Amino acid sequence: MYVFQIRDLDTSITTAEKRLRELRLRVPSGRQLEARRLAALKTNKGLQNRIQQATVRLNAVLADNRVLRSNLENLLKQRDKFMLQLSFCHGGFRLPYQDLLWRSWLLITDGLCLLRSSLLMPHLPREMPHMPHDS
């Protein structure tokens, strides 16, 4: 009778030890938890740095766009002014400054096209066209 009780007791102790070992394997240790916490903090800091860098780049692009829009508006005003002056150059005769006005209008139009493309596609290089030579 006592033999069965001892055997049952041995079996229950062995089963309890086995369960305890399994639980220890499933539950992370304090070191593992600390390592995971530090890794999460490092990842979080890295993400914050990337967000900050992206914000700086976005602000630079927005500032660049404001400058380009301002330049575009100024060029549009200049174009309108030159078009008004060109409208007075009619009647079959050429005024001395008509060629200069025409060349200026062409340059302004080229500049407008360049600015529009740089606003739509900012990754393209921005180069001003060269002044055409007299032929």
Q: Cα separation of 115 and 93, whole Å?
A: 34
Sequence-distant (6+) residues with CB within 8 A of 40 are: none
For the chain, the structural domain boundaries read: 22-120
Encode pLDDT of 68-115 as tens digits. Answer: 888 878 877 877 777 776 666 555 555 566 666 667 777 777 777 776
Confidence (pLDDT) at 12: 84
Is pTM beyond 0.85? Reply is: no
| Stated length of the chain | 135
Q: Cα separation of 13 and 22, whole Å?
A: 14
Please give the radius of gyration of the chain, using alpha carbons only, rounded to the nearest integer: 39
